[in-house]
Amino acid sequence: MLTLTCPYCGIAAEETELQPGGEAHLKRFGPGSSDAEFEAYLFARRNPKGVHFERWRHAYGCGKWFMAARDTATLQVYGTYKAQTPFPTPEIVAAIQHRHPQWRPDFDATSPTPTSAPEGLTQ
Amino acid sequence: MTQTGPFRLPRGGRLIDRAYQLPFRFDGRQMRGVAGDTLASALLANGQLMMGRSFKYHRPRGPIASGAEEPNALLGLGQGGRFEPNQRATTTPLVGGMVTASQNAWPSLNADIGAVNNWLYRFFPAGFYYKTFMHPRPFWKHVFEPIIRRSAGLGKAPTEADPDKYEQAYAHVDVVVVGGGIAGLTAARDAGRDGKSVWLVEQTPHFGGRTPTDHADGQSRVDALLAELRGMENVTLRRATQATGLYDHGYLLVRESLADHDPNAGIPRQRLWRIRAGHVVVATGALERPLSFAGNDVPGVMLASALRDYIDLYGVAPGRRIVVVTNNDDAYRTALAALDAGLKVVAVIDARSTADGALPAAVRARGLRVLTGSAIAGIKGGHAVEAVKICAHSGSGQVTETVDADCVAMSGGWSPVVHLWSHCGGKLNWSDAQTMFAPDPSRPPTGADGNAMASCAGAAAGDLLAAELTGAQAESALMPVWVMPAHATRKMKFKMWLDFQNDVKVSDVELAAQEGYHSVEHTKRYTTLGMATDQGKVSNINGLAVLSKALNQPIPATGTTTFRPPYTPLTLGAIAAEARGETFLPLRKTPMHGWHEAQGAFFEPVGHWRRPYCYPKGGESHGDAVAREIRAVRASVGTLDASTLGKIIVKGPDAGKFLDMMYTGMMSSLPIGKCRYGLICNENGFLIDDGVAARLSDDTWLVHTTTGGAERMHGHFEDWLQCEWWDWKVWTANVTEQWAQVAVVGPKARMLLERLGGMDLSAEALPFMGWAEGQVAGIPARVYRISFSGELSFEVAVPANRGLELWEKLHEAGRDLDVTPYGTEAMHVMRAEKGFIMIGDETDGTVIPQDLGMSWAISKKKSDYIGKRAQERSHMTDPGRWKLVGLESLDGRVLPDGVYAVDEGVNANGQRKVQGRVTSTYLSPTLDRPIAMGLVRHGPQRMGEVLEFPAGGQDSYKARIVDPVFYDKEGSRANG
């Protein structure tokens, strides 16, 4: 039973307090997308043995969705971060590379990403 | 002395207090033990060596162990609701007045009819059931299975509810040390000195483990450690506390016995600790392995360490003429302990060609016979050991000598207890030198920080002697012995037990290997090796060694089966704790719940709610009550408690845009003061919820969901808002429980509400699909003119704390109108009469709105909504999809729910092809005939066709495809 720290309320929450939401940072494909794109968006998941980015909701807590970077083999948690970002934050990338120096992100980790929700979403 | 049994020794017994005698009963016989006894030691003291019968052959069995690994001595304890089957006599502390019974024997332990299986053992090899009961196929269900089910299982399940209380507690601890032996005590002391918060948990009621028994100054070493630990404020010591499993991120499950078998203590019987451990030290010791010789299961044959324990800890002699058989030095300790207790040791049989270590030397010095290079060829005796046949270990079992004996102490070496280490991924290494699997410290179970969350200490780490801690002298190497003698005949292997409880023998594992079961996991399941209640604690390593030999491969190539929690069985009571009865799942009740109860409503569960299904009057059946309620609503007026409907506020500058994405229809164009029915799909395109949304103001909508869908839909909205469109300015709030809601339904609904006064509810002021805010009977209210029944209908929402007041006023004011409370079933039937769909009936997670003829609820103008792209996929636009129709039974019988309409031909499995199924079916009181809805291939184009629905042995049902709207097709009644 995992423990993950909610980046919104700071509580180290037990898995029973959380709702899992599958792989994080999926790009949504809607009307106008090809069958292949839509199929990949809807069904194809990486399911890696190793570094994985996933969505969790602090369902029996503050109710916020957040992301966790986790190793599915060792269960190491590299960090949790707010959901309002299209890809993992530089801090998370650094935490992963601290353990796995050879690991390279398949997204542009240097690009500026919002580290908190834009005004209007959080209180 | 004789009062506590003829086999109680005159002296000794480290754990017992002879001054306190405890009477107890075993199979109806009165016996006596003493304080500190286990049930097993007390029974042995009374000369009761045989404590049960094995599972398959009903062989007589006595204890082979003295601890948690015991496979044989399983008893039924207690009576009535406190009866518990399969309790290990070796770990159950004796309590005065205890009532115990042997298991798996009928009519009695000594004369068990099932033992006939024992004479037929050649006909019950591994896989017997799989091989024998294949044909003829119907025989399995009607003949074999009932017989096998009746004879299967060891203990009997209790029939009454458990009257005891159990509790659970949480703890966060820096270091939890599991095992209170010398290694655990030392680890706890070291962690305590470091200032960490430390728990030490020990499964037995005593600290010290084997050290006091096995080592000369062991007790003083243990006492010194305990004295220091008891002085540390940061250290908690818990005895009779079993760590049963280690899970992800240091989650350790620990069961503490508080008042086991002492129901009068007035405290919970057990406490289940759910511990988050920073680090777990596994100091769980090691378990001795039996030796596989013919007759190794006869009562009186036991592990050498167990015999030593019974003598040293309890002052009990399981026998008086003892043979020790071993492949290592450690068992010589048992010979010495027996001699010290004044017992006769007939011989030490050592499979090794030489035995010249310090312990064998000490034994020889006492004048004992030590037969090296020797083995046991067989045991004479059935219910107890009478004599031991001796042979050369290197041979095939030629008996060289037979010695009289009543007890055999065997030792095949030791296996570290690695269960907790392995539960969460810790890996093992095979050690040829020590002939055991031991934890590999370089491959530990890892925690949230990616580092080891557990480590092992002492014997559990593979340091069997723990010489640094115990002061033990070095011992000479053991010799692996997996079958004794080395070239035993096939006939002998039929009598060599590996798994004592499940009756798995060397011959069975060899047969499995011969039949192609090469994986240890497959062999386990085929032979049932290690699948008994002891989970293979004494049988596992011996079994996989025999398998390896049969497969001619090294033991690590075979590997172990997976270690799974719990280490020892956990009571269901401890797992459930307080979560039983009414506290299992808190029920949600509407403000009017008490009124419904007082009216004798019959409730049904809807989500976590309880809703009135109907309100039977007098001796009325549920069916009659539902019909009466419907007629009253259609004729006059009825009320439905609709408070459970989900109510979610969606607010903000982007709320309209957001709802257009959530619903298939257009919500942003809804005028203030109006309501609109909408459908919600998931990204797969499938329909997941429906309901009516009302626009409250320029930037605010109130969304109604299904009763069971409120939390789910709120979560769905939040998911998209937080994770996809986090820049949209929208807020949501689930206000379901803030409002009580009453549907006032029927041709006289307006009349009734007007009597309460406060609002203009005329058709002009409040037309169909409009809503208005005001006061009803002096209560602030929102009134929605929506209808799920097809009648004139007003849903009145008031603050939750005024709900009962409104409900009672409606019933008071409408007495002369025969105002009738109606339940969910009447609601269901009335909506079906109108052809309205119900989420969960017409939908099952694979149905899209287009299947239900609801394209009218899908906006053509919108470029996107959740599910739109999916509904464009080829499978979703397939004209062959099953579509909603009405079904009219031809013979007046109500169609069974869920039945399938058959088509011509058969599929690849030889089953009739199908072309549709029934989704809702009722007897309509309004129309006085059966009505049904269903999904049928090309259904809407096949009006008038007749479908056939086979239904078990009865005549097939036949139904005509018709329009799904059975009542008031024009919709004039709701518009009134």
| CA gap B907, B900 in Å, rounded | 15
pLDDT tens-digit readout, B349-407: 999 999 999 999 999 999 999 999 999 999 999 999 999 999 999 999 999 999 999 99
Would you call A121 and B727 a contact, using CB atoms and an 8 Å cutoff? Answer: yes
Chain B partners of A74 at a C-beta cutoff of 8 Å?
A: 446, 450
Confidence of residue B112 (pLDDT cuts 50, 70, 90): confident
Instruction: Give CA separation, B614 vs B285, B596, B788, B789, in Å.
Output: 62, 10, 17, 16
Provide mean pLDDT across the span B936-945. Answer: 97
Q: Which regions of B210-296 does DSSP assign to beta strands (E)?
A: 235-238, 241-247, 251-257, 270-282, 286-288
Chain B partners of A31 at a C-beta cutoff of 8 Å?
A: 863-864, 868-869, 872
pLDDT tens-digit readout, A56-96: 999 999 999 999 999 999 999 999 999 998 889 899 999 99
Sequence-distant (6+) residues with CB within 8 A of B749 are: B637, B791, B792, B793, B794
Would you call A59 and B715 a contact, using CB atoms and an 8 Å cutoff? Answer: yes
Provide mean pLDDT across the span B26-49. Answer: 96
Q: What value, to the nearest 5°, has the Cα angle with vertex B166 and ends B162 and B170?
A: 155
DSSP A28: P
| CA gap B348, B368 in Å, rounded | 8
Closest-CA distance, B729 to chain A, in angstroms, reads 5
- Taking only residues 26 to 45 of chain A, the set having a beta carbon closer than 8 angstroms to any beta carbon of chain B reads 28-33, 35, 38, 42
Chain A partners of B662 at a C-beta cutoff of 8 Å?
A: none
List, in sequence order, the alpha helices (H) in B519-604. Answer: 520-527, 540-551, 555-558, 572-576, 593-598
| CA gap B919, B847 in Å, rounded | 12
Residues across chain A: 123
Q: What domains are there in chain B, each with its CATH number?
A: 2-128 (3.10.20.440), 166-287+416-470 (3.50.50.60), 290-412 (3.50.50.60), 481-553 (1.10.10.1100), 586-837 (3.30.1360.120), 879-962 (2.40.30.110)
Sequence-distant (6+) residues with CB within 8 A of A89 are: A81, A113, A115
Chain B partners of A98 at a C-beta cutoff of 8 Å?
A: none
Confidence of residue B636 (pLDDT cuts 50, 70, 90): very high
Please name the residue of chain A whose CA is at the shortest distance from the CA of residue B661: A30
SS3 of residue B236 by DSSP: strand
Would you call B718 and A63 a contact, using CB atoms and an 8 Å cutoff? Answer: yes
CA atoms within 13 A on the CB side of B664: 28
| CA gap B237, B207 in Å, rounded | 9
Closest-CA distance, A77 to chain B, in angstroms, reads 5
- Amino acid found at B126: A
The token pair at B818 is 């025969």
SS3 of residue B857 by DSSP: helix
- Taking only residues 442 to 461 of chain B, the set having a beta carbon closer than 8 angstroms to any beta carbon of chain A reads 446-450
pLDDT tens-digit readout, B498-514: 999 999 999 999 999 99
Closest-CA distance, B667 to chain A, in angstroms, reads 19
| CA gap B121, B495 in Å, rounded | 10
Considering only CB atoms, A29 lies closest to which of B450, B718, B869, namely: B869
Chain B partners of A77 at a C-beta cutoff of 8 Å?
A: 448-449
Residue B126 pLDDT greater than 80, yes or no = no
- Distance from the Cα of residue B632 to its chain's centroid: 47
- Amino acid found at B787: S
Residue A116 pLDDT greater than 50, yes or no = no
Instruction: Give CA separation, B496 vs B49, B376, B436, in Å.
Output: 20, 11, 21
Confidence of residue B134 (pLDDT cuts 50, 70, 90): low
Confidence of residue A120 (pLDDT cuts 50, 70, 90): very low
Chain A partners of B253 at a C-beta cutoff of 8 Å?
A: none
Residue B885 pLDDT greater than 70, yes or no = yes
Chain B partners of A84 at a C-beta cutoff of 8 Å?
A: 722-723, 726
Instruction: Give CA separation, B655 vs A52, A59, B652, B725, B803, in Å.
Output: 33, 23, 5, 12, 29
Provide mean pLDDT across the span B227-243. Answer: 98
* Lowest mean pLDDT segment, chosen from B309-313, B369-373, B956-960, B972-976: B972-976
Q: Would you say the C-alpha torsion B582, B585, B591, B597 has a positive or negative sign?
A: negative
pLDDT tens-digit readout, B746-782: 999 999 999 999 999 999 999 999 999 999 999 999 9
| CA gap B226, B437 in Å, rounded | 30
Is residue A2 less than 8 Å (CB to CB) from chain B?
yes
Interface test with A, best of B658, B661, B722 (most A CBs within 10 A): B722
Chain B partners of A75 at a C-beta cutoff of 8 Å?
A: 248-249, 446-448
pLDDT tens-digit readout, B506-535: 999 999 999 999 999 999 999 999 988 888
- Amino acid found at B868: K
Backbone angles phi, psi at B745, to 5 degrees: -130, 135
Would you call B446 and A76 a contact, using CB atoms and an 8 Å cutoff? Answer: yes
Interface test with B, best of A1, A4, A16 (most B CBs within 10 A): A1
Q: What value, to the nearest 5°, has the Cα angle with vertex B350 and ends B347 and B356?
A: 100
**Beta sheet of B731-734, edge-to-edge order:** B675-681, B687-697, B700-705, B646-651, B731-734
| CA gap B626, B612 in Å, rounded | 11
Confidence of residue B149 (pLDDT cuts 50, 70, 90): low
Q: What is the ipTM of this complex?
A: 0.92
Provide mean pLDDT across the span B577-591. Answer: 92
Would you call A65 and B722 a contact, using CB atoms and an 8 Å cutoff? Answer: yes
Chain A partners of B720 at a C-beta cutoff of 8 Å?
A: none
Would you call B249 and A35 a contact, using CB atoms and an 8 Å cutoff? Answer: no
Confidence of residue A106 (pLDDT cuts 50, 70, 90): confident
| CA gap B508, B531 in Å, rounded | 14
Would you say B538 and B514 are in contact if contact means Cβ atoms under 8 Å apart? no
pLDDT tens-digit readout, B170-195: 999 999 999 999 999 999 999 999 99
pLDDT of residue B685: 97
pLDDT of residue B140: 64
Is residue A64 less than 8 Å (CB to CB) from chain B?
yes
pLDDT of residue B116: 65
pLDDT of residue B197: 98
Provide mean pLDDT across the span B850-869. Answer: 96
Considering only CB atoms, B450 lies closest to which of A55, A99, A117, namely: A99
| CA gap A79, A77 in Å, rounded | 5
Would you call A28 and B450 a contact, using CB atoms and an 8 Å cutoff? Answer: no
Chain B partners of A121 at a C-beta cutoff of 8 Å?
A: 721-722, 726-729
Would you say B89 and B31 are in contact if contact means Cβ atoms under 8 Å apart? no
Examine residue B146 and say whether the peptide bond preceding it is cis (omega within 30 degrees of 0). no
Chain A partners of B726 at a C-beta cutoff of 8 Å?
A: 83-84, 117-118, 121
Label residues B324-345 b or e (16+ Cβ within 10 Å = b): bbbbbbbbbbbbbbbbebebeb
Is residue A62 less than 8 Å (CB to CB) from chain B?
no
Please name the residue of chain A whose CA is at the shortest distance from the CA of residue B864: A31
Considering only CB atoms, B684 lies closest to which of A42, A77, A120, namely: A42
pLDDT tens-digit readout, B687-721: 999 999 999 999 999 999 999 999 999 999 999 99
Provide mean pLDDT across the span B452-474. Answer: 96
Instruction: Give CA separation, B454 vs B83, B115, B299, B605, B666, in Å.
Output: 37, 46, 39, 45, 57
pLDDT of residue B590: 97
Provide mean pLDDT across the span B798-815. Answer: 98
Please name the residue of chain B whose CA is at the shortest distance from the CA of residue A36: B873
The token pair at B785 is 């003119």
Provide mean pLDDT across the span B913-931. Answer: 97
Residue B858 pLDDT greater than 60, yes or no = yes
Residue B639 pLDDT greater than 60, yes or no = yes
Is residue A20 less than 8 Å (CB to CB) from chain B?
no
Provide mean pLDDT across the span B894-913. Answer: 95
Would you say A18 and A59 are in contact if contact means Cβ atoms under 8 Å apart? yes
Would you call B726 and A42 a contact, using CB atoms and an 8 Å cutoff? Answer: no
* Lowest mean pLDDT segment, chosen from B54-63, B66-75, B888-897, B921-930: B54-63
Q: What is chain B's mean pLDDT, rounded?
A: 94
Q: Which of B229, B162, B237, B233 is nearest to B189 (CA)?
A: B229
Would you call A1 and B448 a contact, using CB atoms and an 8 Å cutoff? Answer: no
Confidence of residue B952 (pLDDT cuts 50, 70, 90): confident
Region of residue B460 (phi > 0: left; psi between -120 and 50: alpha; otherwise: beta): alpha
Q: Which of B487, B479, B497, B546 is nearest to B517 (CA)?
A: B546
Is residue B733 less than 8 Å (CB to CB) from chain A?
no
Confidence of residue A117 (pLDDT cuts 50, 70, 90): very low
Domain assignments of chain A as residue spans, ordered by start: 3-99
Considering only CB atoms, A42 lies closest to which of B683, B863, B872, namely: B683
Would you call B450 and A21 a contact, using CB atoms and an 8 Å cutoff? Answer: no
Backbone angles phi, psi at B41, to 5 degrees: -65, -35
Chain A partners of B450 at a C-beta cutoff of 8 Å?
A: 71, 74, 76, 99
- What is the CATH number assigned to the segment(s) A3-99? 3.30.2270.10
Residue A118 pLDDT greater than 50, yes or no = no
pLDDT tens-digit readout, B684-693: 999 999 999 9
- Amino acid found at B920: S
Please name the residue of chain B whose CA is at the shortest distance from the CA of residue A98: B450
SS3 string, B674-738, reads EEEEEEEECCCCCEEEEEEEEEEECCEEEEEECHHHHHHHHHHHHHHHHHCCCCCCCEEEECHHH
Would you say B349 and B390 are in contact if contact means Cβ atoms under 8 Å apart? yes
- Distance from the Cα of residue B451 to its chain's centroid: 30
Provide mean pLDDT across the span B301-323. Answer: 97
Please name the residue of chain A whose CA is at the shortest distance from the CA of residue B723: A83
DSSP B101-119: E--S-SB-SSSBGGGHHHH
pLDDT tens-digit readout, A12-29: 999 999 999 999 999 999
Q: What count of CB pairs under 8 Å joins A to B? A: 81
- Amino acid found at B182: I
pLDDT tens-digit readout, B63-91: 999 999 999 999 999 888 889 999 999 99
Query: Which DSSP helix (H) or strand (E) runs through B186?
Result: helix B182-193
- CB atoms under 10 Å from CB of B622, counted, come to 14
Considering only CB atoms, A76 lies closest to which of B247, B448, B683, namely: B448
Considering only CB atoms, B726 lies closest to which of A1, A74, A84, namely: A84
